[in-house]
Amino acid sequence: MSEEIFTDAIGEITVTGSVVRVDLLTMAVSDKDEQGRLKPQFKQRLIFPIEGFAHAAEAMLQMRNQLEQRGILTRKADTAPQMSFTESGPTGQPN
């Protein structure tokens, strides 16, 4: 049986030598910002050799393009290349 990992977002990505570390974030139910929104917290880390990271990144870009083509995902032209966290349910409720 394989283990599944849920993540709300990717946090910091660091490269050290030939290794890429990708921090996975989840929304902390017990930690909220000034507006009462859940704050992201470190959950787990994925560690890739550079070539493995490049293949994974390409696969994710291809999937994003497919989702855009199907109309499942839309991109805003004015969106800056940064992460923002939004909550779709009532304040304080995890997914």
Look over the chain and give the mean of its residue pLDDT values, rounded to a whole number: 82
What integer pLDDT is reported at residue 87 of this predicted model?
39
pLDDT in tens, 37-78: 888 999 999 999 999 999 999 999 999 999 989 988 887 776
How many CB atoms sit inside 10 A of residue 28's CB?
15
Q: According to the model, what pLDDT value does residue 92 have?
A: 42
Examine the pLDDT at 20 and tell me if it is beyond 50.
yes
Cite the DSSP H helix spans in 1-76.
50-69
Distance CA 9, CA 41 (A): 10
Q: Is the pLDDT of residue 90 over 50?
A: no
